[in-house]
């Protein structure tokens, strides 16, 4: 009787698992069919046309948002090292998503259910780039369907672009302090010189600002910005 019970239970669970897997497959396929188109132009976010006075101060821009594009070759290695250490240490090895990030995100959900801490995101740089390119960053838009589309498009990025190009697009897409988009723009806004000419301390400030631009704004919250640096 015991073995019959085990056999029947296993059969029932197998059928339920198969049905859930079948439903999930059809659901994911239906969601993927509605993914937005991602073009190289939208990923690159071409820089705006700017006009400067004799002192190097910006006096006119063709865009409401200030943006100065920087090529990957011009990114200091110190900036790349600090950025990846902060955002995704295994970026160059990960397959379009971060296994460690997903595990940490799942663990944070469990802790939240137990009343310990807050839910943390586990998005890879590819997923964040997709979010900044075609989706909203509002928390109210964080739905299961949106996450599936984001995950799918992030893996498409991995298949079509090398890691250096993806990282280049990402650092130029980041919303920063003072209505600046991209790390090069913020370097010029804060220090009036390109990222490659900044000191280690200044580069650390650039990296720290990216995760919470308003909170770590040097002009509005200098102590917080310094602490984050």
Q: Two tokens at 183?
A: 């790390």
pTM of the model: 0.76
- Span 203-212, mean pLDDT? 90
Q: Coil, helix or strand for 219? A: coil
pLDDT of residue 22 exceeding 80, the answer is: no
The β-bridge relationship of strands 66-67 and 180-181 is parallel
Residue 59 or 39, more confident = 39
Q: What phi and psi, each to the nearest 5 degrees, are found at residue 20?
A: -65, -45
- Regarding predicted confidence, which is higher, 140 or 123? 123
DSSP one-letter string for 12-81: HHHHHHHHHHHHHHHHHHHHHTTPPP--HHHHH-PPPPEEE-TTS-EEEESSSSEE----GGGS-HHHHH
pLDDT digits (tens, 9 = 90+) for 146-178: 888 888 899 999 999 999 999 999 999 988 887
Burial of 12 (0-12, 13-18, 19+ CB in 10 A): exposed
How far apart CA 154 and CA 86 sit, in angstroms, is: 20
Q: What's the pLDDT score for residue 72?
A: 95
Do residues 174 and 183 lie in contact, with contact meaning Cβ atoms separated by under 8 Å?
yes
Say what the pLDDT of residue 19 is. 76
At CA 20, angle to CA 18 and CA 24, rounded to 5?
115
Q: Are 149 and 31 in contact (CB under 8 A)?
A: yes
> For residue range 58-106, what is the model confidence (pLDDT) as tens digits?
666 655 556 789 999 999 999 999 999 999 999 999 888 777 767 766 6
What average pLDDT is seen over the chain? Answer: 83
* pLDDT at 29 exceeding the cut of 80: no
Query: In 10 A of CB 197, how many CB atoms?
Result: 11
Top mean-pLDDT range of 14-28, 63-77, 186-200: 186-200
Q: What is the mean pLDDT of residues 20-42?
A: 78
How do 58-61 and 50-52 pair as beta strands? antiparallel
The phi-psi region of residue 96 (left if phi > 0; otherwise alpha if psi is between -120 and 50; otherwise beta) is: left
Rounded to 5°, angle at Cα 78 from 43 and 129? 20
């Amino acid at each position: 009787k015991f073995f019959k019970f085990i056999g029947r239970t296993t059969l029932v669970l197998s059928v339920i698992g198969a049905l859930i897997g079948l439903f999930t497959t059809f659901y994911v396929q239906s969601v993927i069919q509605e993914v937005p188109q991602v073009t190289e132009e939208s990923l690159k976010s071409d820089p705006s046309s700017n006009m400067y006075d004799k002192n190097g101060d910006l006096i006119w821009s063709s865009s409401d948002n200030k943006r100065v594009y920087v090529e990957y070759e011009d990114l200091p290695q110190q900036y790349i090292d600090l950025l990846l250490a902060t955002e995704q240490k295994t970026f160059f090895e990960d397959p379009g998503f971060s296994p460690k990030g997903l595990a940490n995100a799942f663990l944070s959900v469990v802790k939240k259910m137990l009343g310990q801490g807050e839910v943390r995101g586990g998005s890879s740089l590819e997923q964040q780039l997709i979010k900044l390119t075609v989706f909203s960053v509002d928390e109210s838009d964080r739905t299961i369907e949106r996450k599936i589309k984001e995950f799918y498009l992030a893996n498409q990025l991995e298949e079509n672009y090398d890691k250096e190009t993806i990282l280049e697009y990402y650092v130029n897409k980041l919303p920063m302090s003072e209505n600046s988009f991209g790390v090069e723009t913020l370097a010029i806004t804060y220090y009036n010189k390109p990222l490659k000419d900044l000191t280690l301390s200044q580069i650390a400030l650039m990296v720290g600002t990216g995760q919470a631009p308003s909170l770590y704004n040097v002009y509005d919250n200098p102590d917080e910005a310094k602490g984050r640096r």
